[in-house]
């Protein structure tokens, strides 16, 4: 931490007082701290307090000509080793998720080429609002790191998830991001499949499924954040491409298999795609026309290649760790174990897709990690980004040869 430079953006929230403590702790470790205080932030802590603790000028206004002459927002955002926003309000996160830049804080966040860490603080209803959930998912996909929020009593009298992480937790997150150990998968090539495949009936019609690609994309994002070189082979999805990942766009299962083979060698493969089990045996070359009075055409199906099974096949090209998913609505563990044995993979993330779980298209997932040689590990319902982070932690432990510890 000695000699590292942090740009701390303090947005408007009662938790801003904790940021003063964060500044003090950072400076105690020899870290240089520059601060941007938003207009709302300045209603909770004074520029004088922030300047005194940080030992440097506080930046408050985008259009201050003197500051622009001395140091523009672009330099301000790039001279830091890390940009930290604490507290990060719902409003500032929404701006960042949408690329809005109408004040110094949001402009700085958009202009930076450094990593960004957000410490959200807001009312629990605001944190749980679908709009905030969407923005958080977007930001995570953009490679933005988060610490907190924590559960507890809120200043507004409510109880729930929304308290800003404590200064020592934010400090630990900063240290983790600034040290090479935060990239434990550096040098590892990871292959991820995601989304559905679509199988052509004719040039305009196809067979598809409801996979959104959210879980696979979150895994690709988390692997990249852990330092892996990631190839994401994905079927047609609306999910944006994750940052710092090589994306290969495919449509059919056969194209997906070909792209996966071309991406090898890889040390890790995670097959999160919902690959169509069948394709149309003989797709029509031209659009099938409705013939008045004629019976509807019948479709003969043929089996698709199984990509997970193909990647799991023993041989020199087999990744060290091959992980599949199993979408189950009943007997989750038994079915997943059967799948693990049948396909020859090392782990299965068994996914409860019964309708009440809202897994398809939703941001949450309820999974169990099934390993050939261990008891199943049931994880609580959590966001797909959290499932991804936990899975990556297990992958790191496995590649290091240590038993993966449940977080």
Element (H, E) at 383: strand 382-383
Site for ligand CTP contains 214 (CB under 6 A): no
**C-alpha distances out from residue 406 to 272, 378, 380, 383, Å:** 21, 10, 11, 16
Choosing from 116, 218, 307, 389, the residue that interacts with ligand CTP (CB under 6 A) is: 307
Residue 275 as a binder of ligand CTP (CB under 6 A): the answer is yes
Residue 134 has a CB neighbour count (10 Å cut-off) of 13
Residue selected from 83, 271, 389, 404 as contacting ligand CTP according to rule CB under 6 A: 271
User: Which are the contacts of 131, defined by CB distance < 8 A and separation ≥ 6?
Assistant: 94
Contact indicator for 370, 351 with CB cutoff of 8 Å: no
User: Near ligand CTP by CB under 6 A, which window of 27-35, 91-99, 272-280, 291-299?
Assistant: 272-280
How far apart (Å, rounded) are the C-alpha atoms in residues 259 and 42?
52
Give the HSE-up count for residue 291: Cα atoms under 13 Å, Cβ half-sphere: 5
Q: With respect to ligand CTP, which residue has the nearer C-beta, 127 or 325?
A: 325
Segment lying near ligand CTP (by CB under 6 A), choices 140-148, 241-249, 300-308, 388-396: 300-308
Per-residue x/- mask for ligand CTP, residues 333 to 372, rule CB under 6 A? ------x---------------------------------
193 binds ligand CTP (CB under 6 A): yes
Both tokens of 89, joined, read 């309000």
Number of residues located near ligand CTP, criterion CB under 6 A: 15
Q: Taking the CA atoms of 108, 112, 114 and 116 in sequence, report the sign of the dihedral they define.
A: positive
Residue 156 annotated among the catalytic residues of the structure: yes
Q: CA 55 → CA 32, 40, 48, 50, 69, distances in Å?
A: 9, 22, 10, 8, 21
The piece of 176-184, 199-207, 228-236, 268-276 that touches ligand CTP (CB under 6 A) is: 268-276
- At 219, give phi and psi (nearest 5°): -70, -45
Q: 327, 385, 389, 392: which one contacts ligand CTP (CB under 6 A)?
A: 327
Part of the chain binding ligand CTP (CB under 6 A), chosen from 40-48, 220-228, 320-328, 377-385: 320-328
Contact between residue 141 and residue 224 where contact means Cβ atoms under 8 Å apart = no
Closer residue to ligand CTP in complex, CB, 84/260: 260
With CB under 6 A as the contact rule, the residue among 119, 165, 324, 390 that binds ligand CTP is 324
306 binds ligand CTP (CB under 6 A): yes
**Residues engaged in binding ligand CTP (CB under 6 A):** 193, 253, 271, 273, 275, 277, 304, 306-308, 324-327, 339
């Amino acid at each position: 931490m000695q000699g590292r430079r942090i740009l701390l953006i303090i947005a408007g929230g009662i938790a801003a007082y904790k940021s003063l403590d964060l500044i003090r702790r950072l400076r105690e470790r020899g870290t240089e701290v520059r601060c941007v205080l938003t207009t709302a932030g300045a209603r909770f802590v004074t520029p004088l307090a922030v300047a005194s603790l940080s030992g440097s000028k506080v930046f408050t206004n985008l259009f201050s000509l003197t500051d622009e002459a001395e140091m523009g927002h672009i330099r301000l955002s790039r001279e830091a080793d890390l940009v930290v926003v604490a507290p990060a309000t719902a409003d500032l996160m929404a701006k960042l998720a949408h690329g809005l830049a109408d004040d110094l804080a949001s402009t700085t966040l958009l202009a930076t080429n450094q990593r960004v860490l957000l410490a959200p603080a807001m009312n629990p209803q605001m944190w749980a609002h679908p709009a905030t959930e969407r923005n958080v998912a977007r930001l995570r996909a953009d490679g933005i790191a988060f610490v907190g929020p924590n559960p507890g009593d809120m200043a507004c009298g409510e109880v729930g998830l929304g308290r800003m992480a404590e200064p020592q937790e934010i400090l630990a997150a900063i240290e983790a991001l600034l040290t090479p150990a935060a990239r434990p998968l550096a040098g590892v090539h990871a292959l991820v499949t995601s989304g559905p495949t679509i199988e052509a009936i004719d040039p305009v019609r196809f067979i598809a499924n409801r996979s959104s690609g959210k879980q696979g994309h979150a895994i690709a994002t988390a692997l990249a954040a852990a330092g892996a070189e990631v190839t994401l082979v994905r079927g047609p999805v609306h999910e944006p491409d994750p940052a710092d990942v090589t994306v290969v766009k495919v449509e059919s299962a056969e194209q997906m298999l070909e792209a996966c083979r071309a991406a090898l060698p890889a040390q890790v493969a995670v097959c999160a795609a919902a690959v169509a089990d069948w394709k149309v045996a003989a797709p029509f070359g031209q659009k099938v026309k409705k013939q008045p009075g004629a019976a509807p055409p019948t479709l003969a199906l043929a089996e698709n290649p199984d990509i997970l099974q193909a990647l799991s096949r023993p041989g020199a090209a087999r990744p060290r760790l091959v992980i599949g998913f199993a979408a189950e609505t009943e007997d989750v563990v038994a079915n997943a174990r059967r799948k693990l044995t049948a396909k020859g993979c090392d782990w299965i993330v068994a996914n409860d897709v019964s309708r009440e779980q809202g897994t398809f298209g939703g941001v949450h997932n309820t999974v169990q990690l099934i390993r050939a040689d261990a008891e199943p590990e049931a994880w609580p319902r959590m966001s797909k980004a959290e499932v991804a982070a936990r899975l990556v932690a297990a992958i790191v432990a496995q590649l290091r040869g240590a038993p993966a510890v449940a977080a």
